[in-house]
Amino acid sequence: MKQPNNYKLFFAFIFVLCSFSAIAQDEKPKPKLLLELGYHLSNNKIPFVSVYTKSKNERKFIPVPNIAVKIYLTQEADANLLGTVKTNNEGRAIVSFPPSVQALWDTATQFTIVGTTDASKDYRSISSETSATKAKINIDTVLVDGARNILVTVTKKQGKDWVPAKDIETKITVKRSIGNLSVSDAETYTTDSAGQATVEFKRIGIPGDEKGNITLVARTEDNEFVGNLSIEKTVPWGSNFVNQGIDFNRRTLFATRDKAPWWLLFLAGSIFIGVWSVIIYLVRQIIKMRKLGNT
């Protein structure tokens, strides 16, 4: 019988090795999907739930887009469905409470939000939940010894009544263009037994709009009892914004391309037209010389 030569044996070995390698890759465990839910109530209007899907990769959390998540109020049942959302490229989505759950919501004091995902080729199905007490936040302003004070009140529902919620950490800020600025020195303020936090407004002279209006914002952030509550109030405590006349609508060197200064357009245009007129003239001369030579 003819013996297989060494080359054939070598390639057979490589083939088997590659096959094992491919099988080993197929058996790689699916990465774990993580689902984060957050309860939000803004200006005491319609509550909504924020959804964030992510996975852990090399000690970093990576957002996972395009994951369909079903959100329920209290428990996983069709009647309690708040909605089905698909996460965006940043792995985030929000769903507002629909009218269909209003009766259930009105009677609730403590509640749970449940989120579930179906299994896919990349991830196994998972579920997650978050609980909170039904609560409201209010903001008011008071004058104490001539000083402007901000009074924030957090109340929670107990039975049919709204009672003060104490020991709730709140942030009291002024809304700015890019972020929010604390109204005083401290970062956070905690409510007392009356559910109130009072802080003196120290941002005197902060620029407001043209009428001097600024927007105060009080909020709780990922609070373990009440979730994310926020409320805004506009007050005329800022200084009037005076337009200095420096904006990108003027024709300046730093404006957008369609607002170049006239003098620059004229200067650059004149030079460009002047030089390129000479070039066009010279090309015409070449064409003329060509015609002269060919006749």
Partner 1 sequence: MEKLTLSPEKITADLVPQAFGKRGMIWTGCLLVLCAIGLFAYIRQVTKGLVVTNMRDYVSWGIYISNFVFFVAISLVGSLITAVFRLADVHWSTPLTRIAEIIAVSAIVFASLIIIVDMGRPERFYFLLIFGRIQSPIMWDVIVISTYFVISLLLLYLPLLPDIKILLEQKGVGVDRFQKLYRFLGSFWKGLDIQEKMNNKAVTLLCVTIIPVAFSIHTVTSWLFATTYRPGWDSTNFGAYFISGAFLVGAGGVVVAMYVFRHVYKLEKYITEMHFDRMGKIVVMLALLYLYFNVNEYLVPAFKMKTSEEAHLMQLFTGEYAPMFWFAIFTGMLIPIAIMIFKKGRKPLPMFVAGIMVVVGAWFKRYLIVTPTLLHPFLPMHNVPASYHHYFPSWEEWAIAIGSLAGAMLVITFFARILPIIPIHETIIEQHETAE
Instruction: Name the minimum Å distance from CB 270 to partner 1.
Output: 13
- Cβ–Cβ < 8 Å for 248, 256: yes
Instruction: Name the minimum Å distance from CB 269 to partner 1.
Output: 9
Which CB sits closer to partner 1, 40 or 251? Answer: 251
Report the C-alpha gap between 229 and 218 in whole angstroms: 8
Q: Tell me, what DSSP letter sits at residue 259?
A: G
3-state secondary structure of 18: helix
Closest CA to 170 of 230, 246, 232, 121: 230
Residues with Cβ within 8 Å of 42's Cβ and at least 6 positions away in sequence, in order, are 48, 229, 230, 231
Instruction: Name the minimum Å distance from CB 59 to partner 1.
Output: 18
Which CB sits closer to partner 1, 107 or 256? Answer: 256
Which CB sits closer to partner 1, 246 or 279? Answer: 279
For residue 247, the one-letter residue type is D
3-state secondary structure of 242: coil
* Token pair of 173 as six digits: 């800020």
Instruction: Name the minimum Å distance from CB 191 to partner 1.
Output: 36
Which CB sits closer to partner 1, 142 or 268? Answer: 268
Instruction: Name the minimum Å distance from CB 58 to partner 1.
Output: 18
At 277, which helix (H) or strand (E)? helix 262-294
Beta bridge partners of 135: 156
Instruction: Name the minimum Å distance from CB 283 to partner 1.
Output: 8
Which CB sits closer to partner 1, 176 or 290? Answer: 290
Which CB sits closer to partner 1, 58 or 185? Answer: 58
Which CB sits closer to partner 1, 211 or 290? Answer: 290
Residues making contact with partner 1 (CB under 8 A): 252-257, 260-261, 264-265, 268, 271-272, 275-276, 278-279, 281-283, 285-286, 288-294
- Cβ–Cβ < 8 Å for 126, 103: no
* DSSP-derived secondary structure for 74-137: SSS-GGGEEEEEE--TTSEEEEEPPGGGHHHHHH-SEEEEEEEE---SSS---EEEEEEE-EEE
Instruction: Name the minimum Å distance from CB 185 to partner 1.
Output: 25
Q: How many CA atoms within 13 Å lie on the side-chain side of 69? A: 33
